[in-house]
Amino acid sequence: MQKIKMIDCVNGESMGPGIKTSDAAIEFDEMPDQFLFFELTAELAAALNTTIKPPHRHSYQEIIWVRQGTAEHLLDGDVINYPAQTLLVVPKGRIHRFSPSSDCRGCAIRFREEFLPNQSNLLFSQFTGHTAFHLNHDQASVVESYFSLLSSENSHTDPYNLQALRHLLAAFVAKLEELRLLDTRMVPHDFTRTLCTWNRLSSLIEQKFRSEHAVSYYAAELGLSPRKLGEIVKLYTGRYVSDVIDDRLIAEAKRLILFSDLTIKEIAFELGFEEHSYFSKVFKKLTGKSPSNFKPDSASA
């Protein structure tokens, strides 16, 4: 199979020419639904061109397919113009703005992190800066097939279709991860060693997050000091190691609350908390809601 071309730029400090940003000024987009599919039609492209939305953050993951035309994408400070047959990955929490050309057509999916069944979001956590797949004809056909299936499943209201949709999305994300791994040119040579450490950490967290919550454990397993590990994680995410661990823990907690019959006490035990009251305290601190209040609001959304 021909290698894909990965587009990946190092984060910049400005939001493009003449645009500056601060955390306080960035709007944070919420999404009430667990999953959303939409077509990038002529009407939507025209609307996005007429009203330029300021850079903003998402509370959800997003994958955008530029089938034809072009699109300008701002992500974490860099602006790049993308051609047709480009797939854009927008991790949650990243500052971004998508500006399609008037003739741009395609589609997009948005989903909450906990919607993926028993699967990490390595596809999203491993990306830094601008990220996109520029696909060849065969790869584009595969992507189109997945989007078509996701659209079809999403159109049904039967509860069994929800589970099918979740697992189909997981298969799609796994396929994109496979495409990503086909090309190692996504990272400059100087970053190869630290990228390897970051990938090993991501895999280790996926294996151990239920039982190991301390940064010191992961640093020791990787043969690094907590400080050195923190520097590497900061390079790729702009965040602390504890934040990355907490993200995975909370994503799994949300998933269990929404899609299992376990009690809060059982979920706390499943995630390595000896006291469910402490689990509830941590969950509320990181989400703004208690575990018992999270499910009703999410289920009714």
Residue 178 has what pLDDT? 78
What is the domain partition of the chain in residue ranges? 5-181, 189-300
- Pair 87, 64: CB distance under 8 Å: yes
Six-digit token pair at 283? 């969950």
Asked if 87 and 40 count as a contact pair (C-beta separation under 8 A), the reply is no
Q: What is the residue whose two structure tokens read 């990946």?
A: 8
Helices 276-287 and 241-259, packing angle to 10 deg: 110
Strand order in the sheet with 35-40: 5-9, 130-134, 86-90, 61-68, 105-111, 35-40
Task: Output 48 or 243, whichever has higher pLDDT.
Answer: 243
pLDDT of residue 169: 94
7 or 47: whose pLDDT is higher?
47
CATH number for the segment(s) 5-181: 2.60.120.280
Q: Name the more confident of 72 and 185.
A: 72
pLDDT of residue 202: 86
User: Model confidence at 296, in pLDDT bands (50, 70, 90)?
Assistant: low
Give the architecture-level CATH label for domain 189-300: Orthogonal Bundle (1.10)
Token reading at 288? 């703004």
Short-list 67, 62, 15, CA closest to 45: 67
3-state secondary structure of 126: coil
* 16 Cβ neighbours under 8 A, 6+ residues apart: 74, 77, 78, 79
Q: Give 235-253 pLDDT, tens digit per residue.
A: 767 789 999 999 899 988 9
Vertex 140 angle, CA 153 and 32, to 5°? 40
Length of the chain in residues, anyone? 301
Using DSSP, state whether 20 is helix, strand or coil: coil
Evaluate whether 53 touches 97 at the Cβ level (below 8 Å): yes
pLDDT at 264 over 80: yes
**Span 144-173, pLDDT tens digits:** 999 999 999 988 877 778 888 999 999 999
Give the confidence band of 6 by pLDDT, cuts at 50, 70, 90.
very low
What pLDDT, on a 0 to 100 scale, did the predictor assign at position 14? Answer: 30
DSSP-derived secondary structure for 223-241: T--HHHHHHHHHHHHSS-H
Q: Which residues pair with 298 in a beta bridge?
A: none
